Amino acid sequence: MPRQVPPGRILDKQAMKLYTEEQVRDAIRKRFTARYDKKNVKYYLNTDQVIEELTPIELPSDEEIEDASLEQNNDDLSPAEEFQRGAKYIINKIQGR
């Protein structure tokens, strides 16, 4: 059952992680693929073990976004240009640039 959050309350930052579709598909395969230990005993990874192997995409914090917007503030840009600049900033952060 999903965690219920009262209106106006934000989940702690550790609660949400972002993964690519490829990572999710790979995790599902790993979860249902049999493995064998040194004694040739068949076992499966549990969900927590699979998740521990994933590396989430790290998004910038609200503070990082605000700081970047203040650093690159340009009053000559239209709202659409500001939006495009912000979108490029987020994409670059997701891609680790």
**pLDDT tens, residue by residue, 37-67:** 888 888 888 888 888 888 888 777 778 877 8
pLDDT digits (tens, 9 = 90+) for 66-88: 787 777 666 787 888 888 888 88
Q: Give me the torsion for CA of 30, 31, 32, 34, rounded to 10°.
A: 70
The dihedrals phi and psi of 18, each to the nearest 5 degrees, come to -115, 130
* pLDDT for residue 11 is more than 80: no
Q: Residue 86 and residue 69: Cα distance in Å, rounded?
A: 8
Give how far Cα 71 sits from Cα of 65, 66, 67, 74, 83, Å: 10, 9, 6, 9, 15
Q: In a 3-state reduction of DSSP, which class is residue 42? A: strand
* Full-model pTM: 0.50
